[in-house]
Amino acid sequence: MSWKMLLTAMIVAIANVGGASADAAALRDKWCKDVHIRFFVGGAEGDAYGTIVYNGARQAQNDTGAQVEFVFSGWNTEKMVQQLREAVASKPDGIAMMGHPGDDSIMPLAEQAAKAGIRMMYQNVPVPKVVAAYGGGYVGAQQEPQGRALGAEAVKLGGLKAGDTVIMIGPFNNENRGARERGTAKALEEAGLRVVRIDSATEWASDPNLALPVITAAILNNPNVKAIGYPGGQMLGNVPTYMQAAKKKPGEIFNFGFDTSPQIVEAFNAGWVQLTADQQPFQQGYLPILNLCEQVVYGLSPLNADTGAGFVTTANYKKVGALASEGLR
């Protein structure tokens, strides 16, 4: 072998060794194991939507090795604020917070977190004023645009016409969280529909049966109602109960709303539900933990991800059915 050939072989060998070392350094197992995170699931343990968020967060915990403490709130915004106060006081490395309490309630606690060097992520409901003031990222659907898009899709798929009556349920008085349902109602009204608004109680999200007398009364008071919109997966999954109580048959009323779950897939299959907007709650669990780890360990920037993926309809619900039954969609 000539000296040129020998030199070339040595260069290639050194390059290969260097590449292998670089790959080994880049691939770290449980790379976030020293990071402590408080994660807000939002709902109660075992509820339809919260379970999917929780499963995504648990997968991120497993993949990164992060030390995660999970917080369950039953969708109660006052409880969330108190739990956030406790979370900031415990001084974890990062907090993944549901945005339901809104900008005004979260703002002073976000200020305390910023002063303490705690990284913040928000999921499900955006808090743009908080993020503008003290930083952080957001993983979830953009409320008002998603609500408007659902309203337009309901008009199209439901064959709704000007003058038709639609019942829309939602937390209309909550500035941040209610933006989605207000957007849906506006889109329906702009299409010429008569919209009957029902302001949802906080406890309906954790126990949708509590809404039963209100919904049945609304149907009786509006006997020509063509469609009903629901504010979340807990209530949308309970549509068969509402319709049977009102003595309605599957498909007699066009039922639509937000989220997917095993109960919602079953309701699609039985003909009770016709449309839902998918928020990909698994991503709302997985990505905040992943990004908090990236911020703390690698100094990367906060992530902003719109998880409003599109619509599940009678034509495509079976594609998500298997994953929904596993608590992943």
Assigned superfamily of 143-278: Response regulator (3.40.50.2300)
Structure tokens at 248: 């309605």
Would the CATH topology of 36-141+280-309 be identical to that of 143-278?
yes
Q: What is the pLDDT of residues 125-143, one digit of tens each?
A: 999 999 999 999 999 999 9
Smallest CA-to-CA distance from 138 within 81, 79, 97, 103 is with: 97
- Mean pLDDT for the stretch of residues 7-14: 45
* Beta carbons of 41 and 70 less than 8 angstroms apart: yes
CATH topology for the 36-141+280-309 domain: Rossmann fold (3.40.50)
Sheet holding 165-170, edge to edge: 194-199, 165-170, 225-229, 254-258, 275-278, 310-313
Model pLDDT, residue 235: 97
Model pLDDT, residue 170: 97
Strand partners, 97: 122
Structure tokens at 194: 């008569």
User: Directed axis angle between helix 77-90 and helix 103-115, to 10°?
Assistant: 0
Model pLDDT, residue 7: 39
Structure tokens at 259: 């989220």
Model pLDDT, residue 187: 98
Quickly state the pLDDT bin for 3 (edges 50, 70, 90). Answer: very low
3-state DSSP of the chain: CCHHHHHHHHHHHHHHHHHHHHHHHHCCCCCCCCCEEEEECCCCCCCHHHHHHHHHHHHHHHHHCCEEEEECCCCCHHHHHHHHHHHHHHCCCEEEEECCCCHHHHHHHHHHHHHCCCEEEEECCCCHHHHHHHCCEEEECCHHHHHHHHHHHHHHHCCCCCCCEEEEEECCCCCCCCHHHHHHHHHHHHCCCEEEEEECCHHHCCCHHHHHHHHHHHHHHCCCEEEEECCCHHHHCCHHHHHHHCCCCCCCCEEEEECCCHHHHHHHHHCCCCEEEECCHHHHHHHHHHHHHHHHHHCCCCCEEECCCEEEECCCHHHHHHHHHCCCC
- Mean pLDDT for the stretch of residues 225-239: 96
Measure the CA–CA gap between 146 and 254, rounded to whole angstroms: 19
Model pLDDT, residue 23: 59
Q: What is the pLDDT of residues 164-215, one digit of tens each?
A: 999 999 999 999 999 999 999 999 999 999 999 999 999 999 899 999 999 9
Smallest CA-to-CA distance from 119 within 90, 153, 96, 103 is with: 96
Measure the CA–CA gap between 134 and 139, rounded to whole angstroms: 17
User: Directed axis angle between helix 281-293 and helix 48-64, to 10°?
Assistant: 30
The domain spans of the chain are 36-141+280-309, 143-278
Is residue 14's pLDDT more than 50?
A: no
- Per the model's pLDDT, the better-predicted residue between 24 and 141 turns out to be 141
- Mean pLDDT for the stretch of residues 289-299: 98
Model pLDDT, residue 10: 42
For the ranges 43-47, 85-89, 214-218, the lowest mean pLDDT is seen at 43-47
Measure the CA–CA gap between 267 and 230, rounded to whole angstroms: 14
Q: What is the pLDDT of residues 25-77, one digit of tens each?
A: 567 889 999 999 999 999 999 888 899 999 999 999 999 999 999 999 999 99
143 Cβ partners below 8 Å, 6+ apart? 125, 126, 176, 177, 179, 180, 183
Mean pLDDT for the chain overall: 92
